[in-house]
C-alpha cells in the first residue's frame, strides 16, 4: 500500500495490520512490496476474484459482509484446490473514504482472515465505483492439488453442506424478508457470510479425484467439473441435501431449483471412486462438515438431471423444470 495523503492515507490505516500474524511473512504491508517465504516442498496456489457493487453484491450490502465475502470467495477457490491458505492482497476502489464503512469492511475481512490464519500482506486503494479485488495465496504439497480434471465415469459425485441456501438468502434480500423469522435469517446469513470449506478441501486430498467450488450454481459447476474430466454427470435431484430452512421457506420444488441453479454457495463439489464415500465422510467429520452423494460421473457428455425416474438435460441457458413428483 503506497503512502498516500488525506483520505487515502486514512483508508490505508485500516489495512496496515489485518488478519493473522504469520512467521512466513518476512515483510508485510508498508514497503513497496511484500516479502514472503513459501515453505519447502510445497506448491504456491494463487487465486484472484473481483466483486463489483450491484453485480456481485447488492448496493444495500453491509460493509462487514462485503469484506467477508471478498475474502471468502477467494478462500473457496483455494479450498477447491485442496490448498491451505496463507496470504491475501486487497485492491479496494471506492468513490470516497468513509471511516465508519472502512472500519466495518475491515472487521468483516479480519474475522474471516483470522479464522483461516490468513495475513493481509499488501494491496492498493484507488478512487472509483465500489470494487473489491482480493488475491489469496496458499500451499499444497507438490502434486497433491485437487483439480477439476481428475474425474472418471462411474465415480460418485458428492457435495458438502446444503446447497441453495445462499441463493435463497439472496432471493429474500430482494424480497425484503420479514425480520425475526429464524429460517429467513439463517438463509440471509448464508448469503452474506459464506463459509469457505478450506478444512474440507485439505482433508479431501488423496480422496477426491476431482473438485470444484460452487460459485455459479451446482448443476453448472458440476458440468464444468465433468467437462474438464472429459465426461458427463448425472445428478439425482431427490438426493440433493436441502436445509430445513430452505425447505420451510421455499417448499421442495423451489428449494431444489435454488440448490441446482442458485450460485454463491461456496460448497465443494467433488468426485470419488465408488466405495470411498465412507472415507470422505470420515475425513470431513472432524471439521464438522457433512458431505452427501448426489450423483455420478458418466460417459455421456453434459449434465443429466434425474428426477422421478425422468432424465432432463440441464443447460446454463435454462432448461425445462422437472415435473413435480
Ligand atoms: Mg472456483
Query: Which of the 8 DSSP states describes residue 253?
Result: H
Ligand 1 geometric centre to CA of 78 (Å): 8
Integer Cα distance of 118 and 95 in angstroms:
27
Ligand 1 geometric centre to CA of 65 (Å): 19
| 313 in Cβ contact with 303 (< 8 Å) | yes
Kindly give the confidence (pLDDT) of every residue in the chain, 325 residues in length, as a single tens digit, with 9 standing for 90 and above: 444 456 667 777 888 888 999 999 988 887 888 999 999 999 999 999 999 998 888 888 899 999 999 999 999 999 999 999 999 999 999 988 888 999 999 999 999 999 999 999 998 888 899 999 999 999 999 999 999 999 999 999 999 999 999 999 999 987 765 667 899 999 999 999 999 999 999 999 999 999 999 999 999 999 999 999 999 999 999 999 999 999 999 999 999 999 999 989 999 999 999 999 999 999 999 989 999 999 999 999 999 999 999 999 998 654 444 433 3
Ligand 1 geometric centre to CA of 205 (Å): 17
Query: Residue 26's Cα: distance from chain center in Å?
Result: 29
Ligand 1 geometric centre to CA of 138 (Å): 15
Ligand 1 geometric centre to CA of 221 (Å): 9
Residue 21: predicted pLDDT: 92
Ligand 1 geometric centre to CA of 4 (Å): 34
Ligand 1 geometric centre to CA of 226 (Å): 14
Ligand 1 geometric centre to CA of 225 (Å): 10
Amino acid at each position: 500500500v503506497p503512502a498516500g495523503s488525506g483520505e487515502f492515507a486514512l483508508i490505508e490505516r485500516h489495512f496496515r495490520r489485518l488478519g493473522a500474524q504469520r512467521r512466513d511473512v518476512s515483510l508485510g504491508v508498508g514497503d513497496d512490496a511484500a516479502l514472503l517465504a513459501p515453505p519447502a516442498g510445497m506448491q504456491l496456489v494463487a487465486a484472484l476474484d473481483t466483486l463489483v457493487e450491484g453485480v456481485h453484491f447488492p448496493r444495500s450490502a453491509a460493509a462487514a459482509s462485503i469484506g467477508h465475502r471478498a475474502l471468502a470467495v477467494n478462500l473457496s477457490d483455494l479450498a477447491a484446490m485442496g490448498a491451505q491458505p496463507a496470504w491475501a492482497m486487497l485492491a479496494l476502489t471506492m468513490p470516497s473514504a468513509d471511516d465508519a464503512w472502512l472500519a466495518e469492511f475491515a472487521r468483516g475481512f479480519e474475522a474471516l482472515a483470522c479464522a483461516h490464519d490468513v495475513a493481509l500482506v499488501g494491496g492498493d486503494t484507488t478512487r472509483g465505483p465500489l470494487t473489491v479485488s482480493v488475491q489469496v495465496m496458499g500451499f499444497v504439497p507438490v502434486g497433491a492439488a485437487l483439480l477439476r480434471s481428475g474425474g472418471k465415469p462411474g465415480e460418485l459425485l458428492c457435495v458438502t453442506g446444503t446447497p441453495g441456501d445462499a441463493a435463497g438468502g439472496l432471493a429474500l434480500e430482494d424480497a425484503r424478508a420479514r425480520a425475526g423469522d429464524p429460517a429467513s435469517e439463517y438463509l440471509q446469513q448464508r448469503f452474506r457470510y459464506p463459509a469457505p470449506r478450506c478444512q474440507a478441501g485439505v482433508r479431501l486430498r488423496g480422496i477426491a479425484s476431482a473438485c470444484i467450488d460452487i460459485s455459479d450454481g451446482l448443476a453448472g459447476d458440476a458440468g464444468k467439473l465433468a467437462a474438464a474430466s472429459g465426461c458427463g454427470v448425472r445428478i439425482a435431484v431427490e438426493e440433493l441435501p436441502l436445509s430445513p430452512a430452505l425447505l420451510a421457506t421455499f417448499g421442495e420444488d423451489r428449494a431444489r431449483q435454488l440448490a441446482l441453479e442458485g450460485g454463491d454457495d461456496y460448497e465443494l463439489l467433488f468426485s470419488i471412486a465408488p466405495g470411498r464415500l465412507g472415507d470422505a465422510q470420515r475425513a470431513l467429520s472432524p471439521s464438522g462438515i457433512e458431505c452427501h452423494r448426489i450423483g455420478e460421473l458418466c460417459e455421456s457428455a453434459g449434465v443429466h438431471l434425474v428426477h422421478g425416474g425422468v432424465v432432463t438435460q440441464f443447460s446454463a441457458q435454462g432448461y425445462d423444470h422437472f415435473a413435480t413428483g
